[in-house]
């Protein structure tokens, strides 16, 4: 993979434009925010049945501890709020959703909770004056001293990957009997909607009752106030705690009760979601402004940043399209038979009619396996290629032909080299998501996500077997892996994996990294 750093500097602008289209949020990844005090934090002992989870249920870590890095996605095994938490209602909320939703739907949760806290701690303009006890300070500090701010920060990170569908709340014991509680919750809910650009009709609030008086709850009288929440917030819905046992302290549910409570939250959400349909544009059809990289006329005249190529050419490439991405054209940044290795315009933007980066261009354009019209960058456009992005197939936007369409020449125009990174032996982890594993001995690593590394064969996504994606695969090549604390840009990818640059040196991207 050793490429001159100066070369990468020249192509970075065009790569970044395409990367942004490629990394668009997946509408089939449903995100839920959750906040509250100890019952949301989780107070139930974690048992054997709780330690395995469907990989379609993910959590975005809101703190850094126990091997998890803040801002990264992980399988949603408890604890979900922070390392001092235990089993809570969100655990079986997510598990129930992935069990009952179509298998192409993933669920992600973002949980921020502080045991014993007053609702004031989540008030955007009032948290600083909260007089918290000393024992609470360490937990609050884990959230940067501002739990509301951390929830918003991580929610924005989650929005890069999926779509926020709802907000979960369990809080009230500390504010028991306070009639102004619903109004204060409304202010927090409205702040979240505003700060995250959300619409209340699309993002309901689900609030759970505290331990009921019938079960010996110390704060059971608070439930009448919680039950009034929909009168203050029309898009709020209350989840009953009726019949759910507690641990003997009058405050915290048992582990069995948390499991049932989570199911109740999920069933309420499922009623609100109605008949959930898989979005066929997932990972696809980012077209329009930033995605039409290629095609006969520079990405179908499309957009600002995406027209990497096109026939009208010129020294700096492109034609009718946009500002930053016009790297191509007949004789511009590559041209039909020359120019920059593997790029080139002509009928195809990145990877024109000539040669190319190994496994990149060739044919009439396109990245291997993506295709798209008479060119285009990996199905991001052209005449036939509605992105095909993310993971192709049913979730990859099939309107442009299988997984982004292949009209750009043999699996994306493969005359420019092999079709990349090795598929090793072992079980096919892609089976559980409906994808076969790659059969070629070498196939370029086209995409890396929380599940593993992906390539394309025959115009369809395939999983690369047993790649130990969380390990630092780049070390064997003499390079470091990228710092998981910083979001990454895919500057280059080859047979080995995806690469970014850190401190002037190449670094390998693993599943521990989050894309910018």
Of 428, 417, 473, 478, whose CA–CA distance to 454 is shortest? 428
Phi, psi angle pair for 441, to nearest 5°: -70, -30
Run of H or E including 36: strand 29-36
Residue with tokens 């099939």: 398
The Cα–Cα gap between 447 and 449 comes to 7
Phi, psi angle pair for 151, to nearest 5°: -60, -45
Q: pLDDT (tens digit, 9 = 90+) per residue, 125-177?
A: 999 999 999 999 999 999 999 999 999 999 999 999 999 999 999 999 999 99
The Cα–Cα gap between 366 and 387 comes to 11
Contact 44, 255 (CB under 8 A): yes
Average pLDDT over the chain, rounded to whole? 74
Three-state secondary structure string covering 191-251: HHHHHHCCCCCCCCEEEECCCCHHHCCCCHHHHHHHHCHHHHCCCEEEECCCCCCECCCCC
Q: pLDDT (tens digit, 9 = 90+) per residue, 322-353?
A: 333 333 333 333 333 333 333 333 333 333 33
* Partner residues linked to 58 by β-bridges: 75, 108
Q: What is the pTM of this model?
A: 0.56
Q: pLDDT (tens digit, 9 = 90+) per residue, 391-409?
A: 333 333 333 333 333 333 3
The Cα–Cα gap between 148 and 156 comes to 12
Of 17, 26, 10, whose CA–CA distance to 389 is shortest? 26
The Cα–Cα gap between 367 and 504 comes to 26
Q: To 5 degrees, how large is the angle CA 384–CA 389–CA 392?
A: 85
**H-only helix segments in 349-440:** 410-413
Averaged pLDDT, groups of 10, the chain, 516 residues long: 47 45 77 99 97 97 93 97 96 99 98 98 96 96 97 98 98 98 98 97 98 98 98 98 98 98 99 93 42 36 36 35 37 36 37 36 37 37 36 37 36 37 53 78 70 73 66 84 83 78 85 74
Token pair in block for residue 363: 């044919």
Count of other CB atoms within 10 angstroms of residue 201: 8
Count of other CB atoms within 10 angstroms of residue 48: 6
- Give all domains of the chain, ordered by start, each with its CATH number: 29-273 (3.40.50.1110), 278-412 (no CATH), 418-516 (no CATH)
Contact 260, 246 (CB under 8 A): no
The Cα–Cα gap between 102 and 341 comes to 43
């Amino acid at each position: 993979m050793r490429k001159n750093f100066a070369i990468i500097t020249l192509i970075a602008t065009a790569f970044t434009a395409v990367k942004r289209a490629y990394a668009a949020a997946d509408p089939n990844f449903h995100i839920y925010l959750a906040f509250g005090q100890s019952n949301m934090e989780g107070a139930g002992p974690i048992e054997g049945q709780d330690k395995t989870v469907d990989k379609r249920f993910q959590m975005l870590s809101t703190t850094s501890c126990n091997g998890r890095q803040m801002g990264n996605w992980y399988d949603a095994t408890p604890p979900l709020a922070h390392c001092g938490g235990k089993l809570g209602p969100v655990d079986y909320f997510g598990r129930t959703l992935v069990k009952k939703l179509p298998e192409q739907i993933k669920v992600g949760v973002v949980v921020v909770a502080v045991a014993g806290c007053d609702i004031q701690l989540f008030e955007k303009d009032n948290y600083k004056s909260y007089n918290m006890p000393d024992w609470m300070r360490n937990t609050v500090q884990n959230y940067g001293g501002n739990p509301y701010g951390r929830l918003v920060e991580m929610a924005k990170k989650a929005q890069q990957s999926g779509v926020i569908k709802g907000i979960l709340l369990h809080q009230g014991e500390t504010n028991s009997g306070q009639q102004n509680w619903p109004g204060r919750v409304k202010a927090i809910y409205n702040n979240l909607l505003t700060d995250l650009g959300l619409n209340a009709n699309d993002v309901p609030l689900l609030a759970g009752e505290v331990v009921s008086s019938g079960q010996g709850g110390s704060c059971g009288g608070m439930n009448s106030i919680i039950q009034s929440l929909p009168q203050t917030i029309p898009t709020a819905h209350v989840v009953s705690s009726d019949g759910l046992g507690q641990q003997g302290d009058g405050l915290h549910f048992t582990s069995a009760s948390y499991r049932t409570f989570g199911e109740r939250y999920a069933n309420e959400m499922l009623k609100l979601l109605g008949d959930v349909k898989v979005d066929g544009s997932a990972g696809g059809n980012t077209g329009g402004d930033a995605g039409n990289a290629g095609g006969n006329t520079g990405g179908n005249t499309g957009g600002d940043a995406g027209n990497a190529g096109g026939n009208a050419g010129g020294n700096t490439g492109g034609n009718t399209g946009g500002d930053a991405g016009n790297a191509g054209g007949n004789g511009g940044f590559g041209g039909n038979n020359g120019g920059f290795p593997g790029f080139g315009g002509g009928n195809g933007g990145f990877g024109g009619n000539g040669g190319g980066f190994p496994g990149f261009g060739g044919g009439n354009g396109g990245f291997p396996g993506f295709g798209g019209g008479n060119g285009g960058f990996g199905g991001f456009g052209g005449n036939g290629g509605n992105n095909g992005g993310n993971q192709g197939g049913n979730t990859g936007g099939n309107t442009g032909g299988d997984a982004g369409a292949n009209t750009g020449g043999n699996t994306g125009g493969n005359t420019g080299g092999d079709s990349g990174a090795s598929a090793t032996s072992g079980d096919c982890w892609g089976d559980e998501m409906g994808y076969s594993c790659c059969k070629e001995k070498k196939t370029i690593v086209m995409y890396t996500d929380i599940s593993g590394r992906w390539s394309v064969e025959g115009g369809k996504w395939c999983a690369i077997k047993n790649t130990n994606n969380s390990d630092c695969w780049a070390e064997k090549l003499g390079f470091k892996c990228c710092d998981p604390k910083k979001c990454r840009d895919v500057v280059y990818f080859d047979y080995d994996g995806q690469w970014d640059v850190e401190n002037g040196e190449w670094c390998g991207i693993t599943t521990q990294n989050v894309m910018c």
